[in-house]
Chains A and B, each alone.
Chain A
Amino acid sequence: SQQGEEDPQALSIQEGENATMNCSYKTSINNLQWYRQNSGRGLVHLILIRSNEREKHSGRLRVTLDTSKKSSSLLITASRAADTASYFCATAEGQGFSFIFGKGTRLLVKP
């Protein structure tokens, strides 16, 4: 079953603006990860945040995690046309080794 659910499904912004996308999940997690996928390609790992962390930064990316609300957000600052892609959250649940991916947010950054 799908656990991670991203919101919005699609987002269109101008270059230079910030993009925020959200992810909600249903059960307890070990960690939550964000990935990027360019059209027709494999996924690329962006950032991992553990269940005991609340915020993490990597370059222009900022991820927050609220385990009480079972939600996470990904902020991309000063977006570029090259950031155009689909973004997915994935959760590592419980004690197992499986991951659950959401349906993704399609981000379009217009030059």
Chain B
Amino acid sequence: SQTIHQWPATLVQPVGSPLSLECTVEGTSNPNLYWYRQAAGRGLQLLFYSVGIGQISSEVPQNLSASRPQDRQFILSSKKLLLSDSGFYLCACTTSGRGEQYFGPGTRLTVT
């Protein structure tokens, strides 16, 4: 079965600094990949999803970007972090189109 790895687990960054969060998937090929952000005590906001290498769909305009350089690697980036970028970032994958999603353990980002 598929396993999703995310790192780092926690991150504290100053405003204006760059960001790179990485997600890798094991146990499957050609997955659809997703980045979500969860504010404290809130639901998940879909940020980006990808159905293949180099194919990125953006759901929310913001100062974040995503890339998929390899089939099972998904990267979330920012050139300059804002305070509002703080949150819990979750990577997920599906192996069957719109079927069940498998989630990674998440990265807790605090922008100070």
Query: Is the CB–CB distance between B51 and A99 below 8 Å?
Result: no
B-contacting 9-mer, from A14-22, A39-47, A62-70, A75-83: A39-47
Contact of B99 among A35, A42, A48, A100 (CB under 8 A): A48
Q: Is A33 among interface residues, defined by CB-CB distance under 8 A?
A: yes
Q: How large is the interface on B (under 10, 10 to 19, 20 to 34, 35 or more residues)?
A: 20 to 34
How long is the Cα–Cα vector from A2 to B32 in the complex, in angstroms? 21
**A interface, CB within 8 angstroms of B:** 2, 4, 30-31, 33, 35, 40-45, 48, 88, 90, 92, 97-104
Q: Is B46 among interface residues, defined by CB-CB distance under 8 A?
A: yes
Q: Is B103 among interface residues, defined by CB-CB distance under 8 A?
A: yes
Across chains A and B, which 7 residue pairs bring their CB atoms closest together, nearest first?
A: A42-B103, A92-B98, A103-B43, A101-B44, A45-B100, A43-B103, A101-B43
How long is the Cα–Cα vector from A41 to B106 in the complex, in angstroms? 7
Q: Chain B contacts of A90 at CB under 8 A?
A: 44, 101
Q: Chain A contacts of B94 at CB under 8 A?
A: 97
Query: Is the CB–CB distance between B98 and A30 below 8 Å?
Result: yes
**B interface, CB within 8 angstroms of A:** 4, 32, 34, 36, 42-46, 49, 51, 57, 59, 88, 90, 92, 94, 97-106, 108
Name the residue on B nearest A106 (C-beta).
B41
Count of A-B residue pairs with CB < 8 Å: 63
How long is the Cα–Cα vector from A100 to B46 in the complex, in angstroms? 7
Contact of B102 among A2, A45, A99 (CB under 8 A): A45
Name the residue on A nearest B106 (C-beta).
A42
How long is the Cα–Cα vector from A32 to B101 in the complex, in angstroms? 12
Q: Chain A contacts of B57 at CB under 8 A?
A: 97-98
Shortest CB-to-CB span from A38 to chain B, Å, is 11
How long is the Cα–Cα vector from A30 to B108 in the complex, in angstroms? 31
Query: Is the CB–CB distance between A99 and B106 below 8 Å?
Result: no
Instruction: Take A30-B98, A42-B90, A88-B44 as given contacts and tell me if A98 and B106 are in contact as well, using a CB distance cutoff of 8 Å.
Output: no
Contact of B104 among A35, A42, A48, A97 (CB under 8 A): A42
